[in-house]
Amino acid sequence: MSTQLTPQMQAELAQLRDIHLPQPIGWWPLAPGWWALIALACILSVVALVWSLMRRKSARFLALRELEAIKPDKPDEFLTQISSLLRRVARRRSAGADVLTGEAWSAFLMEGKYGMSSNSATLLATGPYGPPANENFEPEALRAETATWIRRNG
């Protein structure tokens, strides 16, 4: 076989070009996995926003905000307002809880794993109606215990 190139072969070789590399892959359009990740992030953001709005409108959250607004200036009014708030929260938990009085109301507040202490429950049951015995309590401690009761039972 001869290594001599004919003019036709030389013309064909002259038409050949070097190997072309493909263009680099761009970042746009995104791959389907990125679109799925973006969609998941959007869905999670919407769910978090809806959950936050629903939480702020929940009875428990509103009751806790109302509890924070009660001023402990006058012990009788403070105890009456807290007892009234607890009765409204308890009505959501048990239908007849808001009409309980005295020892029955105190027992209702103490019942269960997350009940109030007996001193606080008795104070809320009798304090607003009793003599100056209701003056020997810590308003902030009672507020904290009431908030805990609302969080766990509301």
Dump pLDDT digits (tens) for 94-149: 888 878 888 898 899 998 888 898 888 888 888 777 665 556 778 899 999 999 99
Shortest CA distance to 114 belongs to which of 57, 70, 142, 152? Answer: 152
What percent of the chain is predicted at pLDDT more than 90?
31
pLDDT value for 133: 52
Backbone phi, psi, residue 7, to 5°: -60, -30
Provide the pLDDT for residue 131: 64
pLDDT number for residue 46: 97
The structure tokens listed for 103 are 């020892």
Token pair for 56: 């702020």
> Which residue type, as a one-letter code, is found at position 42?
C
- Of 120, 115, 119, 125, the residue nearest 93 (C-alpha): 115
pLDDT of residue 59: 85
Mean model confidence pLDDT for the chain = 86
Question: CB–CB of 124/87 below 8 Å?
Answer: no
